[in-house]
Structure 1
């Protein structure tokens, strides 16, 4: 093999499909690659022929110019693929396996990996704990919105689907295992959702919808999803969620109309650092809005799951503090109500096998819940533009024609 096609960030608002190198078992220099990782040998890796690779809201933050991502960075951390080459140190994964790739890159050897904290692996990113494919400041591992991609530590990282035909039949659901389904589920778990819980999910994008479905799987009695986008709220209602439009008045009042009380047991932030104001401030960027509103509406002693992305470098933020990730949080409210907070990358491997079984046995129609739509790799720029405009769709790139829809 000598060629590869991939989706790359060019400049704010612009992505393009480029010709790039076919991967080898060595991390080479390139946009975003940490210098300390250049030349890193990957005998424990495999090369995948990409079956499906998804456009994520986290990618969209970079494409909007809201991070320090360099030009020409190959994007994509939501990857499902077929193994076409294995490195000499790979023992259990075989050519022909269909696999899900956790977006967290982890070594399986460090203390954090052994404690199932795979989102903060100590050995794959020279700058900080934690790494991901095709993402700014995450070590420079090349992204998977491509025809072919290298995956390190394959025996550890890859989730092999037990039956190839069954996997390909349910591939639109299974592709969500690389990120958004475990991430949303993690938000629900860390928010303390259980049987009979009342839950508020801030954000009706794909992660918010995955969090809502995750809350339902955990036994929630009522799941309420809030957003400004009516199309996305309508999508949440298709699988049994209640909804509130946060631009149409105080959230507490709308929750009280649904539950009879103005609070919920559990709150989930699936929005992150580009949050917009609520009520009269709707439409204006106010990055602490969601976190502060969740503290207001979550009952004393409750928990907040925060799978929404927050960053330490945002050149487009509304003020100097927010550009460094410093937000005006009402921490006193959280302290007074004895609220618990969980932030950070989802440790995908903690959940992906269980969620795979839920999908394979028809317990979790996640692709339908997030309105997944397959498009070609060459159509990625259109997918990014429509997603950025607020489409109630999860775009799944289909580089090799494995997907029928």
Structure 2
């Protein structure tokens, strides 16, 4: 049987590519036993990875900022070719190239039936919601690999309608598994509409995807704040205004210089729990972005929060932050009647529509996030460069299927 290589967390700041068993049509033992269901998964498919991406959420684990154990497999951004299907898979076929939402969903529970696939009730013994290759997310094997098993394949997989077209646009389509829907979710739930002014905190890949999505939604001005000059330049490359939070002064003053008033119609937190205070060399202050968002969002505005927050952070600056308790000015948000949208993006809510935009030539998300192709063997180097702040979205090409 063919071996399967996968990226594995080896300790703080370290990943390696290791060989594991080729996937079986089986769900994790702990999931099966907890829910009293069969481990055998005739509803599943096995994918040969076409592309799989390095995500900022992966970096939180690799930095030692979660409770991920050594040996945790990595990777939840999965696009692949179906090479095997179980006997209960009716509509997905061998040879289909598909996008796989990072959310694992059964398609049967109350949450899935309500379209809330990020909090499926039947895939994780620890809590609602599961993902591939992530700590406390159900024990599912990661997808930064040669091959991966996808359960409930007819529900979870999004087949692309034409193979050749898919391979031509694969660097855009690979973003459908996570960051494009996640960024879009952040902008949409913040209330971005035609003519809106929008502030996006963070110019990493999700922040850039949120900014690009705000433009798709019709925003008149999109302002991106960050401390990384290279990433801010990437935001400007597709028409965003930027604020350098390390040196530009008060955020409200900078927004007023751009829009003529010190507030925006919608705000997006694409940073999450490793946020830092303003100014060069500022210390970590995990509530900074949330408080900024409430400060700059006008009364009645929405705040989309695709940035990751966790309940266990062993590397946090204080005991409260270690359990996800942050110094958030909720009174300010309450007084301004803000709405907040948190949690995993329900990818299936958006991925088909965004796929159609890509295939019609109306969305070039790969260019916006500076998609950069590497091999699976280069994954450790990609992780290291991304951790240093490279303004790139690393796309792993395990089988050399991405056209040069």
The alpha-carbon deviation at position 34 of structure 1 amounts to: 9.1
Does 2:50 align with 1:16?
no
Deviations 1:353-395 (A, max 9, x none): 0000110111110000000001000000000000000000000
Does the 8 Å CA contact 2:224/2:232 hold for their aligned counterparts?
Answer: yes
Partner in structure 2 of residue 72 of structure 1: 71
Gaps of 5+ in 1: none
For 2:278 and 2:32, locate their aligned partners in 1 and report how far apart those are by CA, in whole Å.
39
Does the 8 Å CA contact 1:374/1:404 hold for their aligned counterparts?
Answer: no
Partner in structure 1 of residue 240 of structure 2: 241
The alpha-carbon deviation at position 39 of structure 1 amounts to: 7.2
The alpha-carbon deviation at position 127 of structure 1 amounts to: 1.3
Does the 8 Å CA contact 2:31/2:123 hold for their aligned counterparts?
Answer: no
Does 2:110 align with 1:88?
no
For 1:129 and 1:154, locate their aligned partners in 2 and report how far apart those are by CA, in whole Å.
19
Give the direction of change, closer, same or farther, for the CA distance of 1:312–1:152 in structure 2 (3 Å limit): same
Count of residues paired in the alignment: 402
For 1:28 and 1:243, locate their aligned partners in 2 and report how far apart those are by CA, in whole Å.
45
For 1:99 and 1:86, locate their aligned partners in 2 and report how far apart those are by CA, in whole Å.
13
**TM norm structure 2:** 0.97
Does 2:329 align with 1:330?
yes
Does the 8 Å CA contact 1:90/1:154 hold for their aligned counterparts?
Answer: yes
The alpha-carbon deviation at position 42 of structure 1 amounts to: 1.5
The alpha-carbon deviation at position 35 of structure 1 amounts to: 7.1
Q: Describe how 1:339-378 pairs up with structure 2 within 5 A.
A: 339-378=338-377
Deviations 1:124-173 (A, max 9, x none): 11111000000000001111000000000000000000000000000000
Structure 1 stretch displaced more, 152-161 or 1-10: 1-10
For 2:33 and 2:68, locate their aligned partners in 1 and report how far apart those are by CA, in whole Å.
15
Does the 8 Å CA contact 1:250/1:279 hold for their aligned counterparts?
Answer: no
The alpha-carbon deviation at position 36 of structure 1 amounts to: 3.8
**TM norm structure 1:** 0.97
Partner in structure 1 of residue 262 of structure 2: 262
Structure 1 residue matching 2:232: 3-state secondary structure: helix
The alpha-carbon deviation at position 33 of structure 1 amounts to: 8.0
> C-alpha root-mean-square deviation of aligned residues, in Å?
1.4
Deviations 1:164-221 (A, max 9, x none): 0000000000000000000000000100000000000000000000000110110000
Does the 8 Å CA contact 2:32/2:38 hold for their aligned counterparts?
Answer: no
Q: Describe how 1:212-231 pairs up with structure 2 within 5 A.
A: 212-231=211-230
Structure 2 residue matching 1:271: 3-state secondary structure: coil
Does the 8 Å CA contact 1:83/1:98 hold for their aligned counterparts?
Answer: yes
The alpha-carbon deviation at position 26 of structure 1 amounts to: 1.4
Deviations 1:232-284 (A, max 9, x none): 0000001000000111211111111101111000000000000011136x531
Deviations 1:39-76 (A, max 9, x none): 72211000000000000000000000000001111100
For 1:365 and 1:266, locate their aligned partners in 2 and report how far apart those are by CA, in whole Å.
23
Structure 2 residue matching 1:40: 3-state secondary structure: coil
Structure 2 residue matching 1:235: 3-state secondary structure: helix
Does the 8 Å CA contact 1:301/1:338 hold for their aligned counterparts?
Answer: yes
Partner in structure 2 of residue 25 of structure 1: 25
For 1:332 and 1:5, locate their aligned partners in 2 and report how far apart those are by CA, in whole Å.
49
For 1:136 and 1:81, locate their aligned partners in 2 and report how far apart those are by CA, in whole Å.
23
Partner in structure 2 of residue 136 of structure 1: 135
For 2:176 and 2:12, locate their aligned partners in 1 and report how far apart those are by CA, in whole Å.
28
Gaps of 5+ in 2: none
Does 2:394 align with 1:395?
yes
Structure 1 residue matching 2:9: 3-state secondary structure: strand
Does 2:383 align with 1:384?
yes
Partner in structure 1 of residue 42 of structure 2: 43
Q: Describe how 1:46-65 pairs up with structure 2 within 5 A.
A: 46-65=45-64
Does the 8 Å CA contact 2:32/2:39 hold for their aligned counterparts?
Answer: no
